[in-house]
Structure 1
Amino acid sequence: MTLRDERNWGTFIHLGGIVGAAIFQPAGNIILVLILWLIKRNESRFVDDQGKEAINFQITISLIGVLISLLGGIFEGLWSFGSWVLSGGGGYYFHGGWGWGKLHGVLWIVNVIFSIIAAVKANEGTTYRYPISLRLVK
Structure 2
Amino acid sequence: MTQRDERNWGTFVHLGGIVGSVIYNAAGNIILVLILWLIKRDQSKFVDDQGKEAINFQITISLLGVLISVLGGIFDGLWSLGNLILQARGDMFHSGWSWYKLHGILWVVNVIFSIIAAVKANEGVSYKYPFSLRLVK
TM-score range, shorter chain: over 0.9
Q: Is 1:58 aligned to residue 58 of structure 2? A: yes
Q: Could you tell me which amino acid in structure 2 is paired with residue 19 of structure 1?
A: V
CA distance in 1, matches of 2:96, 2:69: 13
- 1:22 — aligned with what? 22
Q: Could you tell me which amino acid in structure 2 is paired with residue 117 of structure 1?
A: I
CA distance in 1, matches of 2:92, 2:119: 49
CA distance in 2, matches of 1:124, 1:101: 35
Report the TM-score, using the length of structure 2 for normalisation: 0.95
CA RMSD after TM alignment: 1.5
CA deviations 1:50-87 (Å, max 9, x no partner) are 00000000000000000001101110111011111221
CA distance in 2, matches of 1:62, 1:81: 29
Match runs of 1:113-124 below 5 Å: 113-124=112-123
5+ unaligned residues in a row in structure 1: which ranges? Answer: none
Percent pairwise identity: 77
Report the TM-score, using the length of structure 1 for normalisation: 0.94
- 1:99 — aligned with what? 98
CA distance in 1, matches of 2:92, 2:117: 46
- 1:137 — aligned with what? 136
CA distance in 2, matches of 1:127, 1:137: 16
CA deviations 1:12-71 (Å, max 9, x no partner) are 000000000011111000000000000000000000000000000000000000000110
Q: Could you tell me which amino acid in structure 2 is paired with residue 122 of structure 1?
A: A
CA distance in 2, matches of 1:117, 1:16: 13
5+ unaligned residues in a row in structure 2: which ranges? Answer: none
Q: Is the 8 A contact 2:86 2:93 kept in 1?
A: no
- 1:81 — aligned with what? 81
Distance 1:14 1:118, change over 3 A: same
**Per-residue deviation, 1:120:** 0.3
CA distance in 1, matches of 2:29, 2:94: 32
- 1:46 — aligned with what? 46
**Per-residue deviation, 1:99:** 1.9
Q: Is 1:67 aligned to residue 63 of structure 2? A: no
CA distance in 2, matches of 1:93, 1:13: 49
- Name the SS for the 1:77 alignment partner: helix
Aligned positions, number: 137
